[in-house]
Structure 1
Amino acid sequence: MQEPVSASEYGASRQDSQESIEDARLAAATSLSSLTTWAAANRPPLPTPDPTLMSTETPSVAGLTGILSQAAPSPLAAPSMNTWNSTVDTAAQASDNFAAWLFESPGSQYDDFNIANMPFLDFGLEYSPKDVWNLEDYASTSEPPGSVANHATPSSLRDNAAIGTPIRGVSEERRAAVLRLLSHFLTKQRNRVYAASDQTRLLYNPDAQNFPNLSVGVLDRFVANYWANVDQQMSVVHQPTFSPNSCNVLLLVTIIMLGAADMVKQKPKGLLEDHQEFSEVIATQLRWEIFTDPEAQPPVQLWAAQALLLLEYYEKQWSSRKLHERAHIHHASTLTLLRRGSPLIGRSDSESPTSGMPTRCASPTGEELPGKPTGSSLDSWWVHWVRNESFNRVVFTAFQIDTLHALMYGHGADMAPYEIRLPLPCDDSLWRADSAEEVHRLDANLKMYGIRPINFLDGLKRCLHAHDVQTHAPARMLLMAGLLSVGWHMSRREKHLQFLETVPSVREQGRWRSMLLQAFGHWRQSFDDAVGPRKSRSSAAKTTDANAPTVLFHLAHLTMHADIIDIQIFSGTKRLLGRKVSDKDFLNVFQRMKAWQPTPIARHAVLHSFKLLAAVMMNRPGKNGANDASNMQPFISYSSRNDPMMYRPWGVYLASLVIWAYQRASSLHLSGPYTQQHLIEGQDERELCCRYLTAFSNIDDPARVLAMLSVSGCAAILSVVSQDLANGEPELFEEAAKRLQSCRETLLTGTSGR
């Protein structure tokens, strides 16, 4: 067994880190740059890591080039020195240039990476060169005369309702359009039986046409609930200029679907089954309706991109296993729609569909406002700005989903960071402002404090090198997604090289891992310094804001040091990612887990798993000044059912699995019987779970993990998390709950789990 690694090996002071960075750049030899060709992904045996993986050295630029290019849809083009095979060499050169630019220090003035050298096919997500951010730019970027009248006129909308409520209520005419679409969906699902005779259910339709329980008031409540809860987690639709009566009906139905589904989570399980049924009917047919709409063809309209992303969010997070897998299959289709036609570059007249409606309209209310004057130039500028910012947020949301779901579910990451050449999304105060004047005033205030738009790639590079990036909290979360994407692509590159039997040296692997670990730590510290801890945890939303960076930080460490696919197979799952897990697969994973358990990275993953669970599940009275009762003890208060964050519930599940896998693999190394104290009958598992998590949350040295393991403590964690997930609505949560219960039985009985 290797020597334990102290906490100091996982981090160092900034000064020492910078010195080691310079030393590594001078000393490291290039070992990966010549291996730019890669094969299809296979899952080779995971090599046993070495303590040097935690080296504080930073990878050389030459040693890391070529790693990030493998997700690109086409080779990169750059000038070649070899005339005999220019096609291959130009691709390798441009690939090397991007990786070199990313890993070179921000102050190094590395100039070889140039967007102008990138080929045509890599421009799918590039931003318009005339970025409409400043009011001063309006004269050069405003739309042709006469086009503004067809757009949403923000000044005509802002007085109808306050922010946080629908701008307009759903009209009877729009309700009829929604019900016609719903009736159409039901006719396509004749194989499904609904309790249509129950007059209390939403889908009650006595004449097969009308739905008396889906009144205008009910639809308004669904829309209002979407803005109050769902939009806070995935804000891709601009609320101040949104009108339910003039937006595309498919986008409105998507919003209604999510609003109804969110209401289900607010009530005890089983109380609003008809709301869940209503959402499932819409989701089942909605994707086909969007894909077959003429305006969803490339170059895609804004409403279609928004609807597809919102639908994927529902399918993956709130629905059945079948729809979850369908979302995984069609995720690449959504990304392709965004790439084709470059959605953030204006169209020529020949590209525009003949709908008579602007193709980049955030809220096309032209039909509602015949003869309406075009309004002031400030309002026209705002419409143009909203249109560009909406597409900006669509692209970043797609990237965030792509990266986080690759880490959480083992899906492939289809987007590479270098594809996104956009400024980070604007501050939420600008996005939610209800007038052009308010946007202009807030923008001026931000600039007065030195806060200006930051390019995503520039911010990512600074983040990777542990430099401060002055931006708002949601943009910081996107930068963390960028770091996770870099780590995912580099790990995948290593697997490709292993398949070719050209495994990078353990030292070389350790260098880039060390750089990312340092970047994770600095990101977390800078987030806390800039945003600060929340003063109150009195509401779910505030709790979400308070520990969101903490959860993402620990999840990053967890997934970087533990193979979640192997761990799920080790737990005894029969099918994974649509594939049957054979006995041979299980035996191979069994050996890899035995090799993983004694390593420093295993202890690192387990410690961060404990800290993630403690941060999410435990309520500590008085910790943030909210309660002065010092005699009150911590207690378990988390409920995944009420959690709006898309990655936190599954992160809790993965953390529990990692702890179990380490505990289980540790028992395999013992020659005698496993004699640790087992769970006592009648013992309060929630109290035991809380004590166990408290003990681990107070340590920072991974070397102490093995000595503190407890069978009864691990069993208590599995029981508490399993019961909580079983109370959720998504089918994946129910499957996860059963898997954790099976792991608990395996731990207590010593069986294999297969």
Structure 2
Amino acid sequence: MFVRKDVKEKHEYRHNLKLGKIKRNRDALGTVFHHGQFELDQVLHKEDPEIALSSELLARGVVRPAMSRTMKDYPGEVDKNMTSASPSTSVSESNPLTNGQIHTLNSLLNDEPLYEHVNNDKATNFAQEADISKDPVGFVPTDLTQWLFNDEAFLNQSTNSSPTSNILNDLDLKAAKMLEDAFCTSPNFPLANYQTSVDDRIIQSMISYIPKLALKQLGVIQIERCLELYWSICHIQFPILHKPSFDTAKVHPLLLLCIIMMGAGVARFSGVNESEILHDPQDLADTIAVPLRWLVLSSDDFCSPPKAWILQVLIILEIYEILLSSRKLHERAYLHHGLKIQLLRRSPLLGGDPTNQYNDYKELTEGSDAWKSWIELESLKRATLVSFYLDTIHATIFGHEIILFAHQIKLLMPCDDMLWEMSNIDKNNLPPQTETPRFITALTKLLHQQNFDVGPLSKKILLAGLLTIKVQMEKKDLEVTFLDWKPVKESWKDTIYKAIEVWRDDICHEDCCDSRNAFYLSSSNNAELMPAPFSIADKKCKFPIYHLSQTFMRIKQYDCIIFAGASNRMNVKTTDRDYKVVKERINTWANSYSGRISVLHCYIFLNEMLFKGNEKLYYNPSKDPLFHRPNIVALSLFVIWAYNYSLGGSESSSYLEYSGRDKTIQLSNSTFKEDGYDYLKRIIDTLKEETSQQTISNRLLNEYNEILPKIKNKHYLVGFLSLFLEGFKSCQSEVCREYGGLLENCIERSLGKKYKVMQ
């Protein structure tokens, strides 16, 4: 095989540098282990040309003292008996590492898979992520971001999923150049009615892909209504399509079919009676959804690198299948989710060489071409970031396995929402532009508790980033447990917990109920067509995943649903032994500081859903247009029930008084010990009265933690759970209907029924 001489010499040079650096760092680590010397000059050779990338990297050294932070007054996530002062980061002469610890660490250094997902330079990364402590167990990481990302130096390191910073910077520069050229002229976007209007030619084109549609009552009126519903309900939550340039006559028919499918799928959330136009929207949506995935997979455009429309179809279809369809389609979406991620890995967005795709970019003479190029690139970026968000959120809610981690996302954040949604852009009166930060940079600032402004979509993506770090650190817990580094296990949870609180208070301006924080509300989004839950006047929680992320910091999703009586998890049947193990974990959690913090977040979230001050609000999960919120409401109910049932047992023994086929009817008509609204109001009012506050605040969770055990009869939950029962049993999603069955089981157990796995 022919290899260019200059390429061969360059490769050999870099290879020799890397081998030399690994050897020097291992020698340095040995010195640190045996002598406790932390001086930079004794650890690194400053002449190393790869390490000398910047003065900042040199100043960092292999090991640096823990950085001082100004922590806001947030409650710690860990148990109080675990939040003692951090140990000193200097080594004690009287307490060196044992030979066994040194041997273990050296073995870990030679373990290729252990740290390759963080940094290919194992020795340097390991030394940077660890610090010798006076604590007998040995190491404590000095900085979570240094451990995971190696700060800014991380951006200059290669990984298996993304090549080099030079390539990524080239892609960013080209995107900036595209936008700069585009601003030289005003775009010629189509009229707004092009986003929803169709004709017979378009309809026949779609029917040619799915012949069954010819048997449905699918005319121009029905299709246009589905398109309107998509833009007013789905697009506002996940703006992955560029609405101003969208033209139904020019987009791929499969993308148009997917949008119609989603519009039909969300029809019941519109707040108006759609039956006059859409006879059976659920049937229409399923008719498209079932064959759509196979049609996309067999398309000539389904290849790497993927076009934007391929990714957009897969994302919209996944949202529908996971949240709005049958259990079968729900599981199909999860199985194929990894395929979408692999497409991204084989694209300029998560891997490969983007210059191969974009090196033909030249000085464009027509502004429309520049706008088209920029829109395509921004669409790809948004599709990638939303895929990352969905990967994380679905893992949190459903217990799925995370595929994408934060350190693998090296893209810039989405562009300004105003720019993305503007239909009329005048080159002489351009919208205000702000610098778009890189995702890793923004996430690092958040972990360092720094304040900055981002748009609604970016807020969601940053929260997902924090959640992936949580999962990533849970995986690292297996390593630190093996080494018995207990302080490490507790410190990172406190850091993530507080970073999520900073996200709410600074990034979301202390209000997770304000629609303007969660959605970009513009005139182009047809505010008059949007359902009421998206309006500024609606004060229900718009970021329920915030509460759930804090709730699940110390309790697993599957523990709650198994304790509630789920018959299986991920198609694996629940056994009596599984239940006993889970019951022990639930009991330990319920009696801990962390258990009280978890359940307090659930109480606060459900209070935001059921009360506006003293005014009672009606909530029906089967009519909720916010994706994922019904699932999070159900999980919050299971957490509250598990906590209180574990501590207080059943509310009564009414269940034992009934028998026969009429038991369900008799139970539904039985008298609850406390009305559901009264129950929640009593809990919340007690927390406010005991802290002398007019409102509930997440900054007072430590105080609430002391008050909660003193509140009596918290296990009077039958009336409270019954508020949601019928809504979940009538949900469109089969998964949510299963939640209804679990809620019914929880109600019966609170009325005295003995534990039995549901069928």
Could you say whether these structures have the same fold, taking a TM-score greater than 0.5 normalized by the shorter chain as the test? yes
Q: Deviations over 1:622-675 (max 9, x none)?
A: xxxxxxxxxxx42132222332222221111111101100111113699x99xx
Q: How does 1:255-294 map to 2 (within 5 A)?
A: 255-266=259-270, 274-294=280-300
* Residue number in structure 2 paired with 1:614: 607
Question: 396, 399, 406: which one pairs with 1:407?
Answer: 396
Instruction: Tell me whether 1:312 sits opposite 2:318 in the alignment.
Output: yes
Q: 1:608 corresponds to which letter in structure 2?
A: H
122-131 or 477-486, which deviates more: 122-131
Over 3 Å counting, the alpha-carbon distance change for 1:601 and 1:60 in structure 2 is: farther
Instruction: Tell me whether 1:740 sits opposite 2:743 in the alignment.
Output: yes
% identity of equivalent residues? 22
* Contact 2:451 2:506 (8 Å CA) reproduced: yes
Over 3 Å counting, the alpha-carbon distance change for 1:155 and 1:75 in structure 2 is: closer
Q: How does 1:5-84 map to 2 (within 5 A)?
A: 26=65, 50-54=79-83, 75=117, 78-79=120-121
How large is the RMSD of aligned CA atoms in angstroms?
Answer: 4.5
Question: 151, 154, 157: which one pairs with 2:189?
Answer: 157
* Residue number in structure 1 paired with 2:74: none
* Residue number in structure 2 paired with 1:718: 721
Kindly tell me the number of residue pairs found equivalent between the two proteins. 618
* Contact 2:718 2:750 (8 Å CA) reproduced: yes
SS of match in other structure, 1:233: coil
Question: Quick one: distance in 2 between partners of 1:314 and 1:123?
Answer: 33
* Residue number in structure 1 paired with 2:657: none
125-134 or 602-611, which deviates more: 125-134
Shift of 1:280: 0.8
Shift of 1:696: 6.0
Q: Which runs of 5+ in 2 are unaligned?
A: 1-62, 68-76, 92-100, 132-140, 517-529, 655-667, 689-695
* Residue number in structure 2 paired with 1:398: 387
Question: 587, 590, 593: which one pairs with 2:583?
Answer: 590
SS of match in other structure, 1:529: coil
Q: 1:131 corresponds to which letter in structure 2?
A: D
* Contact 2:216 2:284 (8 Å CA) reproduced: no
Question: Quick one: distance in 1 between partners of 2:731 and 2:536?
Answer: 19
Question: Quick one: distance in 1 between partners of 2:396 and 2:739?
Answer: 16
Q: How does 1:635-714 map to 2 (within 5 A)?
A: 635-667=616-648, 681=671, 685-692=675-682, 694-695=684-685, 698=688, 700=701, 701-710=704-713, 713-714=716-717
* Residue number in structure 1 paired with 2:9: none
Over 3 Å counting, the alpha-carbon distance change for 1:384 and 1:648 in structure 2 is: same
Shift of 1:681: 1.5
Q: How does 1:31-430 map to 2 (within 5 A)?
A: 50-54=79-83, 75=117, 78-79=120-121, 89=123, 103-104=145-146, 113-123=153-163, 127=168, 129-131=170-172, 155-158=187-190, 160-161=191-192, 165-167=193-195, 169-183=197-211, 186=212, 210-211=214-215, 213-266=217-270, 274-343=280-349, 377-430=366-419
* Contact 1:417 1:486 (8 Å CA) reproduced: yes
299-308 or 642-651, which deviates more: 642-651
Over 3 Å counting, the alpha-carbon distance change for 1:268 and 1:706 in structure 2 is: farther
Give the structure, 1 or 2, with the largest relative contact order (CA under 8 Å, sep 6 or more).
1
* Contact 2:602 2:639 (8 Å CA) reproduced: yes
Shift of 1:115: 3.3
SS of match in other structure, 2:552: helix
Shift of 1:477: 2.3
Calculate the TM-score normalised by the size of structure 2: 0.72
Over 3 Å counting, the alpha-carbon distance change for 1:128 and 1:173 in structure 2 is: farther
Question: Quick one: distance in 2 between partners of 1:703 and 1:679?
Answer: 36
Q: Deviations over 1:15-55 (max 9, x none)?
A: xxxxxxxxx98479xxxxxxxxxxxxxxxxxxx98534455
Q: 1:650 corresponds to which letter in structure 2?
A: N
Question: Quick one: distance in 2 between partners of 1:514 and 1:493?
Answer: 15
* Residue number in structure 2 paired with 1:206: none
Instruction: Tell me whether 1:511 sits opposite 2:496 in the alignment.
Output: no
Q: 2:157 corresponds to which letter in structure 1?
A: N
* Residue number in structure 1 paired with 2:458: 475
Question: Quick one: distance in 2 between partners of 1:584 and 1:326?
Answer: 29
Over 3 Å counting, the alpha-carbon distance change for 1:179 and 1:268 in structure 2 is: same
Shift of 1:285: 1.2
Q: 2:685 corresponds to which letter in structure 1?
A: A
Q: 1:486 corresponds to which letter in structure 2?
A: I
Question: Quick one: distance in 2 between partners of 1:177 and 1:704?
Answer: 64
SS of match in other structure, 1:560: coil
* Residue number in structure 1 paired with 2:134: none
Question: 426, 436, 448: which one pairs with 1:453?
Answer: 436
Shift of 1:275: 1.1
* Residue number in structure 1 paired with 2:135: none
Question: Quick one: distance in 2 between partners of 1:429 and 1:116?
Answer: 31
Q: 1:382 corresponds to which letter in structure 2?
A: W
Q: Deviations over 1:263-308 (max 9, x none)?
A: 1333699966721011112111111111121211111111101100
Question: 730, 738, 757: which one pairs with 1:727?
Answer: 730
Question: Quick one: distance in 1 between partners of 2:112 and 2:708?
Answer: 37
Over 3 Å counting, the alpha-carbon distance change for 1:89 and 1:306 in structure 2 is: same
Question: Quick one: distance in 2 between partners of 1:479 and 1:121?
Answer: 20
* Contact 1:128 1:344 (8 Å CA) reproduced: no
Shift of 1:749: 0.7
Q: Deviations over 1:191-212 (max 9, x none)?
A: xxxxxxxxxxxx6xxxxxx447
Shift of 1:602: 0.4
Q: 1:400 corresponds to which letter in structure 2?
A: Y
* Residue number in structure 1 paired with 2:472: 489
Q: 2:394 corresponds to which letter in structure 1?
A: H
Over 3 Å counting, the alpha-carbon distance change for 1:100 and 1:78 in structure 2 is: farther
SS of match in other structure, 1:131: helix
Q: Which runs of 5+ in 1 are unaligned?
A: 1-23, 29-47, 80-87, 143-152, 187-202, 204-209, 353-357, 361-373, 621-632
Q: 2:189 corresponds to which letter in structure 1?
A: L
Shift of 1:711: 5.3
Shift of 1:382: 1.8
* Residue number in structure 1 paired with 2:592: 599
